[in-house]
Homo-oligomer: A and B are copies of this chain.
């Protein structure tokens, strides 16, 4: 991302070649038995180049994840409601969960590979941190107890293997509905500072994909 200065032309070319090759292998071979040898071969570069660019397996998938989640993260922070600032906590959380389910369903393989490569350090990746901060903040606004832990629990539903189970055909609906239901139950239970957080008043901002 933040290169020191002036990336050499061949380096840039190879970087995108590796990323594209990784994507291709991810969608073709569904799972995460993707060796970096294969990636390098598919990209038409040497193995050393892959490691020079991305450090290690984790870094490679992290870069791809960041690329895929960039627009969502921007929309969350500075986009228009209900995803961005301005909407009430519950609709905003629901919109986020919809968007996240959609993203997760569309890129299961990538997310699976990323999780597997990260291991326990998954929770310290910038992307996860941003999502957790967002959810946690929204929950805290409605005074949900231990918002941080609750946010983790909600986000745990987006475990890649679970996504595969609940969205076998790529449709995020089932996962989205389930998690939104959880969030709504949680928030409805806690009398909010904002008055009109009632269940009936929820604007359902499903990103209609189907």
Contacts and interface: CB of A to CB of B under 8 A. Distances in A.
- This chain's copy number in the assembly: 2
Contacts of A178: 146, 149-150, 152-153
B149 A174 contact: yes
Nearest to A157: B153
Interface string A181-195: 110111011000000
Contacts of A150: 178, 181-182
A161 B149 CA distance: 13
Contacts of A164: 120
A175 interface: yes
A41 interface: no
A93 to B, nearest CB: 14
A162 interface: yes
Given A185-B189, A186-B182, A189-B189, A120 B152 contact: no
Contact of A146 (B153, B177, B188, B189): B177
Interface in A140-170: 145-146, 149-150, 152-153, 156-157, 159, 161-162, 164-166
Contacts of A201: none
8 contacts: A120-B164, A145-B181, A152-B157, A152-B165, A152-B166, A182-B185, A184-B189, A185-B189
